[in-house]
Every structure is written in structure tokens, then in C-alpha cells.
Structure 1
């Protein structure tokens, strides 16, 4: 298996259709004509992923006000995403990619360093997709804590 090249500004955002926490299909193409933040995280209900999701939740009004929707994607099954959403009162779609096809298409799955060792897993990544389906921002290996504030600053939101 070869590693997918990392996405860069100007690339076409790979389309996807994934199930949300309620089992409904959501596609990136549903957001055509709008800007959307697509972020990939390793696992629902873990400390870092919870902090990151809550930061997006707490910033959602400002992000939406600036014309940005938010989608979170992880390899978790819809049932786990529903528990996570309900426990943390998350109000944006959480999508399930258990076979990691979308994660791999966006180069958000692969080798990463964890506790000094190279392991394969989800690479915490955030993208902004513009109204035409192009990558406007591509950030890999982001930190769970403080990332949303930095993103808002970078986007002047």
C-alpha cells in the first residue's frame, strides 16, 4: 500500500459519502457553494478528541457566522459517534469512516509518531474546503488543544 500524498492548497478536495451519528449519509458535495471545515480525529470520547470537538462546538456560532460549516470524521462507528455527540452536546455532523477510505484519501491516516515510536493511525488533520470544492487550508499533525483558536485567528473569525 502506498501512502497518499498530502493535500495542499488548491487541490480538489476528495469527495466522500459517509454515515453520520444517526446513520444518515452525508457527502462533501452537499456543502458545494459553502465553505466547510473538515477535521479528522482519532477516536470519539478520548480526552484530546473531546477537547477538540468541544472547542469546535464552542466556536460554532462564530464559524457559522463567517460562512463556515464544520464536519468531524473518525473511524468510529455511528453508535459511538451518537454517544459522543450526545455526551458533549455537539451540534455539527460527526461522520463514520470505519474502513478509513476517506481518511486515506485525505492523507489523514498513516505513519505518525506516538510516544517516540512510529505507529499507523489517524493523523489529526484539519482542512478548509472552499465553495468550489478546493482545499483552501490544509493542516496536518495539529494539536487537539488550542487548534480551533489558532484556526479562527488564521481565518480572521
Structure 2
């Protein structure tokens, strides 16, 4: 068994769509980034890669590469999962927390869990997505950005 932790931050700006957990969420601001800037999926990628000491998403999907410009982060999650499987591991579970003031994500959490579970070949019960605010403190409280934390547990697959 291996455990990994990931964290990601993105600035919120007008003129961008907001993607969280592979779901497009209506909001007047979106996350700024080279890809679609899905803070939750990026944190999960980093947690999985970190569990096996494979670096982070910047190593595998650099923001200096045109190949990843505006890429759907679900693709990055799937590619990260392929790297995990190539090492002989599978995902046991994901526990993730979002920090943002707005929008409220409760109506989208089940869909996020389904998207993540589908990509990682686990059940929805194996994916936890929670959210909190920072009580109006800091850059998150001022709605200038958002943060995601993720923990994943991996297990080595038995060879036959």
C-alpha cells in the first residue's frame, strides 16, 4: 500500500470557464491555467503520482508544452492513472477537499465523484469530495482563487 498527497491552487478570473472535478460549473469566474485548470483533478493527479514518487503533473504535463494547452484535465487524470497502472498499482480510494467561497459545489459533488470514479476504475463510494470556505479570509476568502487537497491510497496488484 502507498499513500499520496496532492495540493493545487488556481487563480480565479473572469472570461474563463470553471471546471472542478471534471464538471463544468456555472460561475462568473473560472480558474486560470495552461490547461482547463481543474484544481481538484490536478490535486488528485499529484496525490497519485506522489504516492509512487513519480514527480508531479508539472513533470509529466509541463505548462511549457503546447500539447497541454487548454487540455481537459480528465485526460491528465487518465494519463496519470495509466502511469500508476504501469507501476502495477491500482487506486483504493480518494479523499479530496476544496477550499472556495463560491460557487457552492454541493449540487455538483455526486457528478464529480462519478467522473473521477469512472476514470480511476473504482466505485463512487471510493471517492470523497468535500468543500469548505475560508470564512472570507485570504485569497480564497476574497474569491481571488481556489485550492484543492487530495489524498489517495494505492495498492500493489498481485501478480499471477
- TM-score for both structures, normalised by structure 2: 0.26
Which structure has the larger Rg?
2
- TM-score for both structures, normalised by structure 1: 0.26
